[in-house]
Chains A and B, each alone.
Chain A
Amino acid sequence: MDVIKDRVKSLVKEHGKARENLLPILQGLAEQERFVSEYAMQVIAEEMGLSTADVYGTSTFYSFLDTRPRGKYIIRVCKTITCYMKGKNQILLALEEALKIKLGETTPDKKFTLLETNCLGWCHKAPAMLINDDVHTDLTVEKVHQIISEYKQLTYTTLKD
């Protein structure tokens, strides 16, 4: 059974085959799979009647659309000016310590991926980070350890495996 194919088919059915539905379809797949593989891009192209190059072009343009395998919880630390001024480097160090990985890496249990991102729009409550869609602001080293230990205890049931 081809899981990717089934997922793509049901997403295309839900959104429609027109090109303007490509981004919602890619987003839907990334939410389920945590990333969009080159194979998935081929399947999407086939199902939507687009060229694979077009799907690849769109897939690789958006920074939140991961084209490499990611963990269940994707952490994106804001690195833009105010967060930088208010100590985002300390926050990154604390995250690396709590997760035992470096920036850009995924934990061996595939639970967390640590990334940086540009301005999240929480400059008045800097430093800030996203964990999947959830926002965490006014971060301190202590707060980071607290948040990560809470996420470590969570069991994420809506994602595969």
Chain B
Amino acid sequence: MGKNILKRIDLIFKDEADCKSVLKKSLQKTNDELINELIASGLKGRGGAGFPTGLKWKLTSEQKADSKYVICNADEGEPGTFKDREILTQVPYKVLTGMALCGRIIGAKQGFIYLRGEYKYLLKDLNVEIENFQAICQELKLNFKVDVFMGYGAYICGEESALFESMEGKRGEPRNKPPYPSEHGYLGKPTVINNVETLAHTFTIFQYGAGKFKDLGVQDSYGSKLFSISGDTPIPGIYELELGMTVEDFVNDFGDGDTKAVQVGGASGFCVPRKKFRETRIGYQGKLTGISLPTGGSMMLFNSSRSMYNLLSNYLEFFTEESCGQCTPCRVGTQQLIEGIRAVKRGDKNAAYLEKLLALTETMKGTAKCGLGQSVANSFQSIVENFREEMIF
């Protein structure tokens, strides 16, 4: 505990006095130069899905359309995640700079920050920041406008196509994919949608070059990442760490000496039991040896006083409420899972019923329309398989 094995990085929150100079310097480069810098950095989306950012911008820039959009996804709703709020509080100009440069590269004149309703208290300060930034854009003759769009308490709107629907005044129900946002996004126009942290990283990359970013992390998972750390830890908070760390090192730094499990990636992520701490690394799936888990940054620690049944039950309640209800596997599946584990716990169903529930999560993984329904399997399977006895007795 508190061993400080992991190197603390200070890039994201480091206050860079002058966003104008970064913007000015970058605007002198061609669009291709900027995209190549991003691709060279190996930056992948920090919302959790991990799509290469440079490629996303490139694909959208290649689309022909009368209007395009840049959207910053600040609908941070994954349980255990709170880093985007801090970025928008401390260094919003980095996010705005990233959005404006993306706008020039893809040919968009309008950007939006989709801010979750829970963070509405940020709106006033954010609008002041936007106003200041808009003045800098004008000075540099960059035609790019940013507005904030308020979400209103719907986790699913963090899913990019549900977010577009929400902005279009509809129910936040995910769309079929393809077409992807690079072709068909907000109002049917080519749209780049990036997580808050991803945009903040683009600022660092444009400021210092791809090299400084790529020096951090490991193969396939370059750079640093903000981690939102909570649960049974003496030092909860937001930490910037390198990708590629093992859960064991993480627990040694942040655990309370009695860590039983770590939930990586929130309710839609994976639960890692103690016996797998050493072999599990945090990063995007790639050439890493052993198990590699992606995360939007949510790391929740649980000590041996915690009931894993209660944990799973809480996640399932969350999913049941936040499922948009559009597709049957997710709407009915989440409800059946919660009823199912309750029935096993009560003894109304025998332990073998857990196998049926596990099979149901496989079905949901294969047939649910979006990431919400598909990822219920992650936490369900990793908890039920590793803590089976706690589900029964």
Contacts from A to B (Cβ < 8 Å): 18-24, 26-27, 54, 57-58, 61-65, 79-82, 84-85, 117-126, 130, 133-135
- Whole-angstrom distance from the CB of B83 to the nearest CB of chain A? 9
Q: Does B203 contact A (CB under 8 A)?
A: no
> Which of A63, A64, A82 counts the most chain B CB atoms within 10 A?
A82
Q: Does B311 contact A (CB under 8 A)?
A: yes
A126: B residues at CB distance < 8 A:
230
> Which of A19, A24, A120, A134 counts the most chain B CB atoms within 10 A?
A120
Q: Assuming the A-B contacts A64-B152, A81-B300, are A118 and B121 also in contact, with contact meaning beta carbons closer than 8 angstroms in the complex?
A: no
Q: Let me know if A121 and B81 touch, CB within 8 A.
A: yes
23 contacts between A and B (CB under 8 A): A18-B169, A19-B170, A20-B167, A22-B169, A24-B149, A57-B171, A58-B170, A61-B172, A62-B152, A63-B154, A64-B153, A65-B152, A80-B267, A80-B314, A80-B318, A82-B231, A117-B153, A118-B77, A118-B321, A121-B82, A123-B81, A124-B228, A124-B238
Q: Does B236 contact A (CB under 8 A)?
A: yes
Range, interface on chain B: 35 or more
Complex CA gap A26/B154 in Å reads: 15
Complex CA gap A65/B166 in Å reads: 13
B238: A residues at CB distance < 8 A:
124
Fill in one digit per residue for B323-336: 1 if any A CB lies within 8 Å of its CB, else 0.
01000000000000
Q: Does B62 contact A (CB under 8 A)?
A: no
A122: B residues at CB distance < 8 A:
82
Complex CA gap A84/B263 in Å reads: 15
Q: Let me know if A82 and B230 touch, CB within 8 A.
A: yes
**A20 partner, pick from B116, B119, B168, B232, beta carbons under 8 A:** B168
Q: Does B76 contact A (CB under 8 A)?
A: yes
Complex CA gap A97/B238 in Å reads: 34
Q: Let me know if B300 and A21 touch, CB within 8 A.
A: no
Q: Let me know if A121 and B85 touch, CB within 8 A.
A: yes
Pick the 10 closest A-B CB pairs, nearest first: A22-B169, A64-B153, A123-B230, A124-B236, A63-B153, A62-B152, A121-B82, A61-B171, A19-B169, A64-B152
Closest residue of chain A to B187 (Cβ to Cβ) is A20
Complex CA gap A22/B168 in Å reads: 8
